[in-house]
Amino acid sequence: MRLLLIEDDPDLSNSIKAELKLLGYAADVAFDGEEGEFLGTTESYDVVILDLGLPKMSGLEVLKLWRQAGNNVPVIVLTARDAWHEKVDGFKAGADDYLGKPFHFEELLARLQAVLKRVQVRLQEKLSLFGIELDEEQQSVSINGQKSVILTALEFRLLRYLMTHPNRVLSKYQLMEHIYEYDGDPESNVIEVYINRLRHIVGKDLIINRRGQGYLFGKNR
């Protein structure tokens, strides 16, 4: 999963990004509203964590611009402005959830997973499909309830994205967009390398290569 964090406090943004990275999320950070609005418009994210009190452009303006343009990316507002009427303004502007500062990271994570779960119903603590069970906490995978394998960070991100989009052909570009951060510099063949590793772990028949199109996780050919 790839996230955009728009937060002008460098200590807080670095802390949140580090925690998210440990949990297998790729996170880009923008430090002002203009940069955040641009990234959210031009890049593909699974969810956005948005501060309201931003320099150059407020978070509320950013959110309104996205919604007016038809950008429906899930947004969690994270702000010290948590009076009831400010929450109402945030929800009216199109926020999916609202968390006041100060907060515990565990609560942010729970809200993040709840928002993702509503959007992608299959996302659970243990994502299970076709005999493959992905453990979010351990970042491991088990096959038919017997074999448990600890995954590397990129293996975990890639398999989670494939499993949350089963029976869909995903291009190499789509996969790279959702497992790498904006300033990441992957080599051109890195997706093939990690797909081959995952096929070795979960079985070749579950990750199908559609020549010239991309990859499909599932049993539909």
What letter would DSSP give residue 206? Answer: G
The model's pTM is: 0.68
What is residue 64's predicted lDDT score, i.e. its pLDDT?
A: 93
What is residue 166's predicted lDDT score, i.e. its pLDDT?
A: 86
- Cβ atoms of 98 and 80 closer than 8 Å: no
Per-residue burial over 92-119, b = 16 or more CB atoms within 10 Å of its CB, e = otherwise = ebbbbbbbeeeeeeeebeebbbebbeee
What is residue 150's predicted lDDT score, i.e. its pLDDT?
A: 92
pLDDT along the chain (221 residues), means of 10: 92 92 89 94 91 92 92 90 80 89 91 82 67 86 86 90 88 85 69 92 89 84 53
Kindly report the number of other CB atoms within 10 A of residue 31's CB atom.
18
What is residue 125's predicted lDDT score, i.e. its pLDDT?
A: 55
Q: How far is Cα of residue 138 from the mean position of the Cα atoms in its chain?
A: 17
- Cβ atoms of 25 and 47 closer than 8 Å: no
Quote the CA–CA distance of 53 and 155 in Å, as a whole number.
36
Identify the helix (H) or strand (E) that includes residue 216: strand 214-217
Quote the CA–CA distance of 169 and 162 in Å, as a whole number.
9
What is residue 185's predicted lDDT score, i.e. its pLDDT?
A: 64
What is residue 165's predicted lDDT score, i.e. its pLDDT?
A: 85
